[in-house]
């Protein structure tokens, strides 16, 4: 007999979870299983990227039966061309559909992104910040983001962030190059989780240094490669920071 007990997280503060490139929400949920277990006071909601693609690095053979695989953005020229406006529209449609269809009632308080999803989480948080700065309000009120192995640069998601420092939404990000100080700096709280054996570590550090205010950024390093931490000793520091920052930002957990 199926368990008919109500979902205990229905009324909890919600965190939007954004998968990496060449994965999907179901796989990311499995990759993040230790984080889910360690965050019982939040409701983690997993969104699917709008575009289909080949499986990402390390997905086969473990998750090969869990396709189709998806992406949020182009990262190589082989991905079909798309104009910036359409890319942004598809991206927000996917996210907003996930949020509308979720049965939870708690406020959307944060994001957790891995790899391409981490790049997107920072970009969405920055979009919120600049809309508040320029227009006085934004459609979202995220308090923080967890950036798991997020590579530079930020993605421009509106006319407010078109800049040589940001990759355009329809542009392939591989090979994008910007040096020096970015005029676009995220000041809302972020937790950056860097695997010390990740081949992209230098790009994760670049993302942190160029696009995030050191006063509101927390860096956690762990002895791992390009994957979501699973072991308790690696997950616990992330969870502690999520709770600390959430409470500092007025989230009721």
Q: Enumerate the active-site residues.
A: 115, 198, 226
Contact between 113 and 18 under an 8 Å Cβ cutoff? The reply is yes
Measured CA to CA, the distance from residue 229 to residue 223 in angstroms comes to 9
Among the listed residues 213, 173, 160, 157, the one whose alpha carbon sits nearest the alpha carbon of residue 190: 213
Two structure tokens written together for 47:
């969104």
Give the 3-state secondary structure of residue 129: helix
The CA distances from residue 94 to 47, 129, 215, in Å, are: 7, 21, 32
CB 175 within 8 A of CB 151: no
Q: Which of 109, 154, 126, 144 is nearest to 238 (CA)?
A: 144
Q: With contact defined as beta carbons under 8 Å apart, do 149 and 203 qualify?
A: no
């Amino acid at each position: 007999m199926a368990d008919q007990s109500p979902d205990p997280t229905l009324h909890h503060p919600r965190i939007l979870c954004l998968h990496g490139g060449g994965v999907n929400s179901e796989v990311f949920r499995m990759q993040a299983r230790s984080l889910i277990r360690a965050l019982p006071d939040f409701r983690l909601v997993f969104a699917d990227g709008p575009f289909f693609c080949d499986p990402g690095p390390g997905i086969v053979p473990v998750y090969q039966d869990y396709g189709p695989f998806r992406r949020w953005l182009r990262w190589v020229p082989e991905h079909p061309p798309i104009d910036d406006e359409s890319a942004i529209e598809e991206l927000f449609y996917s996210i907003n559909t996930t949020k509308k269809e979720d049965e939870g009632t708690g406020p959307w308080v944060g994001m957790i992104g891995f790899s391409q999803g981490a790049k997107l989480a920072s970009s969405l948080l920055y979009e919120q910040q600049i809309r508040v700065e320029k227009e006085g309000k934004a459609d979202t009120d995220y308090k923080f983001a967890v950036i798991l192995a997020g590579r530079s640069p930020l993605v421009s998601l509106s006319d407010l962030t078109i800049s040589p420092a940001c990759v355009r939404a329809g542009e392939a990000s591989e090979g994008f190059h910007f040096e020096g100080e970015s005029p676009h700096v995220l000041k809302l709280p972020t937790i950056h989780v860097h695997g010390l054996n990740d081949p992209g570590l230098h790009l994760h550090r670049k993302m942190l240094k160029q696009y995030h205010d050191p006063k509101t950024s927390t860096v956690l390093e762990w002895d791992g490669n390009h994957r979501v931490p699973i072991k308790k000793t690696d997950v616990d520091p992330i969870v502690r920071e999520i709770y600390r920052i959430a409470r500092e930002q007025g989230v009721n957990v």
